Structure 1
Amino acid sequence: MASAPTTITVTPLEEKVAVVEQKIHNSQYALKFVGAAISNMASSAFCNPTDIIKVRQQLRTHAPGARGSSFLSVGVEMARTEGILSLTGGISASMLRELVYSGIRMGTYEYFKDTLHDVSQGALTREGLTLKIAAASIAATIGSALANPADLVKVRMQAYYPNGNPYRNLPHAFASIYQDGAQKAITAGASPIYGGLRALYRGVEATTIRGIVLSATQICSYDQIKQSMKKRGIMKEGVPLHFVASTFAGFFCSVTSNPVDVVKVRLMNDKTHQYKGAFDCIRQIMVNEGPFGFFKGFGMCWARLGTHTILTFLIFERVRYLFGIEAM
């Protein structure tokens, strides 16, 4: 009995090439996440002293311009009363936060940018700000929400405690905040698990809003400035262009994010529940401290965020080059 003829299916070369290119493209997204995490963690480690001074300034509730509220005064006071190592406070929580938050918000920015461009079938152009802002907002929302517990722990570890910092290390801080929330939930007749998680996610609204505002101005302005300067032939791809674009981006995001940052820090460190929520916090700051209350710590915010932005993008672009990925 004759055997049935064997059918051989040959995949067209173009399809094979497309599959390989897609795999390479997907692996680049993973490398971009790694590069974003590395660059932001390195920048945060360098800028931690300015970050903790900024937090201390933002937690001070006295009138603007009062003595002892300048970033220099706060820094000198910390070094004198708590020791120079106090300027490294919360660095472990900061590293964890950057790994999750910045790894996602910056590392997935181009993924969402490509996806939205494809879904819109080109209606959202790569040259336009709409695509950039939408991609940055989505990435920042996810990163901010997931990283909120680490962000809250960082703020708590960096706050001032007259009787000494109650948190021995990062795990102890997480456990203490969770247990405190669980205990309060039990007292109120609620679920301890929900109470513990709620304690770690206090201020998540302000955190997410800040993440969106920061990313929409920092990442998008860097991307747009680079794109515009190259298109007009003002500068070519390279370190000088990365430095100029990141300098402008650092200033823009400092201005837009500082008010939200003040509200976020106040809410996260509000252990006595002075504020009913983000809007109540905004109201109290406006009534008690005036509009300039939202810009407390701006000098240190700019010093920290501006330096952080420049270092981050310079390192990020260099890591991309080492990974064999084209510049952002």
Structure 2
Amino acid sequence: MLAGLKASFLPPVTVNHPQEYKMSTVMVSPIEEKVDHWQKGRTPTNREYAMKFVTAAMSNMAASGVSNPLDVIKVRQQLRTQVPGSRKNAFWAVGMDMIRKEGLISMGSGFSASMAREVVYSGFRLGAYEFFKDKLYGWSNGALTREGITLKVLAATCSASIGSALANPADLIKVRMQAYYPNGSPYRNMRHAFATVYREGAAASAGSPVLGGLRTLWRGVEATTVRGVVLSASQICSYDQVKQVLKGNGVMQEGVSLHLVASMFAGLFCSLTSNPVDVVKVRLMTDKNREINGVLHCVRTILVKEGPMAFYKGFGMCWGRLGTHTIVSFITFEKLRELFGMEPM
């Protein structure tokens, strides 16, 4: 009887087969341990979404600061109309020519406008990506899976469309400040550039100067938005997908090495897809004399006068700039998320 009472108070003992126990062991990386208080699958709060916006803006500002010289050379290449393949178009020739004629400081052209652009553009396109991903997943009632590429592309399209359209004025000012002017830049600083461009549009539209000024600031918004969507869908989605595949197959664990590999793939892919649209966008934004009548006219003009390869002018610098920007921005983004106690992307 005493033995029976002792047995009734003892907890049940389950003996697992060694092989079964081995299979149930889960390897957790140090980063994942730091954020174990986050519940996977739950909907983040508005404060957490806001923190993602802030960290996305901060990481991309850091990346733009590093890659700004490459961005300036890329813009200069894309504005040249020489035959593709000309040695004068090479990035080293353009860069050396800039330093010789304008000084090393010319590599920092448009820096302030670039920082302002990243706050809005990247804050939305990267910071709001997971917001739209969560919302679209909920609205689809499970029809869109979190692992599927469709949900990622739709989320990136939504976030990039908003960010690109809102940031167009800062993007236009950045390009104007980075362009080459034989008699010296007409812009003293970002504020002066905004005022000058606004007055330029207001003067060209006597009937409605306010609307004319705003139209000038949003010139090329169609190409900007298309480029933003193409770049974000290829960059953010490929980064997300590569991380998912490498982690899911046990090739790599969450950490800087995984972030580096995924961002390198993302940088190459988005450079290939976005360069043609970027060329059109730059041409439209620097067309002060209104010689180009929209995106289609710009595309047709480039094809007829310079050939199809002109859409890949500045690709070396585009890849160098976007590749660097992508690596720095994603690694910084992931590190900031870790510091703020958020789960990895």
Q: Report whether the alignment pairs 1:308 with 2:328.
A: no
Give the aligned partner of residue 115 of structure 1: 135
2:221 counterpart letter in structure 1: V
Tell me how far apart the structure 2 counterparts of residues 60 and 268 of structure 1 sit (CA, whole Å).
Answer: 14
Measured after TM superposition, the shift of residue 28 of structure 1 is 1.1
Measured after TM superposition, the shift of residue 138 of structure 1 is 0.3
Q: Which stretches in structure 1 are left out of the alignment for 5+ residues?
A: 1-17
Q: Which residues of 2 match residues 238-277 of structure 1 at below 5 A?
A: 238-277=255-294
Tell me how far apart the structure 2 counterparts of residues 46 and 306 of structure 1 sit (CA, whole Å).
Answer: 11
Q: Report whether the alignment pairs 1:173 with 2:164.
A: no
Tell me how far apart the structure 1 counterparts of residues 186 and 167 of structure 2 sit (CA, whole Å).
Answer: 22
Give the aligned partner of residue 34 of structure 2: none
Give the aligned partner of residue 13 of structure 1: none
Tell me how far apart the structure 2 counterparts of residues 230 and 61 of structure 1 sit (CA, whole Å).
Answer: 45
Give the aligned partner of residue 101 of structure 2: 81
2:152 to 132, 136, 147: 132
Give the aligned partner of residue 48 of structure 1: 68
Measured after TM superposition, the shift of residue 61 of structure 1 is 1.1
2:244 counterpart letter in structure 1: Q
Tell me how far apart the structure 2 counterparts of residues 92 and 126 of structure 1 sit (CA, whole Å).
Answer: 37
Q: Report whether the alignment pairs 1:65 with 2:82.
A: no
User: What is the TM-score of this pair, normalised by structure 2?
Assistant: 0.87
User: What is the TM-score of this pair, normalised by structure 1?
Assistant: 0.92
Q: Report whether the alignment pairs 1:282 with 2:299.
A: yes
Q: Report whether the alignment pairs 1:33 with 2:53.
A: yes
Tell me how far apart the structure 2 counterparts of residues 327 and 183 of structure 1 sit (CA, whole Å).
Answer: 50
Tell me how far apart the structure 1 counterparts of residues 290 and 92 of structure 2 sit (CA, whole Å).
Answer: 30
After superposition, what is the alpha-carbon deviation per residue over 1:44-81, rounded to whole angstroms, capped at 9, x for unaligned? 00100000000000000121122311000000000010
Tell me how far apart the structure 1 counterparts of residues 181 and 193 of structure 2 sit (CA, whole Å).
Answer: 14
Measured after TM superposition, the shift of residue 240 of structure 1 is 0.5
Tell me how far apart the structure 1 counterparts of residues 86 and 292 of structure 2 sit (CA, whole Å).
Answer: 23
Give the aligned partner of residue 249 of structure 2: 232
Find the structure with the greater CA-based Rg.
Answer: 2
1:113 counterpart letter in structure 2: K
Give the aligned partner of residue 26 of structure 2: none
**Once superposed, what is the RMSD of the aligned Cα atoms?**
1.1
1:293 counterpart letter in structure 2: A
Give the aligned partner of residue 183 of structure 1: 203
Measured after TM superposition, the shift of residue 105 of structure 1 is 0.4
After superposition, what is the alpha-carbon deviation per residue over 1:231-266, rounded to whole angstroms, capped at 9, x for unaligned? 111111111100000000000000000000000000
> Identity percentage over the alignment?
64
Q: Report whether the alignment pairs 1:100 with 2:120.
A: yes
Tell me how far apart the structure 2 counterparts of residues 290 and 94 of structure 1 sit (CA, whole Å).
Answer: 30
1:55 counterpart letter in structure 2: V
Tell me how far apart the structure 2 counterparts of residues 286 and 133 of structure 1 sit (CA, whole Å).
Answer: 29
2:326 counterpart letter in structure 1: T
Tell me how far apart the structure 2 counterparts of residues 258 and 274 of structure 1 sit (CA, whole Å).
Answer: 22
2:267 counterpart letter in structure 1: G
1:314 counterpart letter in structure 2: I
After superposition, what is the alpha-carbon deviation per residue over 1:131-183, rounded to whole angstroms, capped at 9, x for unaligned? 00000000000000000000000000000000010000001000000001000
Q: Report whether the alignment pairs 1:319 with 2:325.
A: no
Tell me how far apart the structure 1 counterparts of residues 148 and 53 of structure 2 sit (CA, whole Å).
Answer: 24
Give the aligned partner of residue 21 of structure 2: none
Tell me how far apart the structure 1 counterparts of residues 341 and 47 of structure 2 sit (CA, whole Å).
Answer: 11
Tell me how far apart the structure 2 counterparts of residues 136 and 247 of structure 1 sit (CA, whole Å).
Answer: 19
Tell me how far apart the structure 2 counterparts of residues 45 and 205 of structure 1 sit (CA, whole Å).
Answer: 26
The SS at the match of 1:68 is helix
2:189 counterpart letter in structure 1: N
1:274 counterpart letter in structure 2: E
Tell me how far apart the structure 2 counterparts of residues 114 and 66 of structure 1 sit (CA, whole Å).
Answer: 48
After superposition, what is the alpha-carbon deviation per residue over 1:207-229, rounded to whole angstroms, capped at 9, x for unaligned? 00000000000000000010111
Give the aligned partner of residue 158 of structure 1: 178
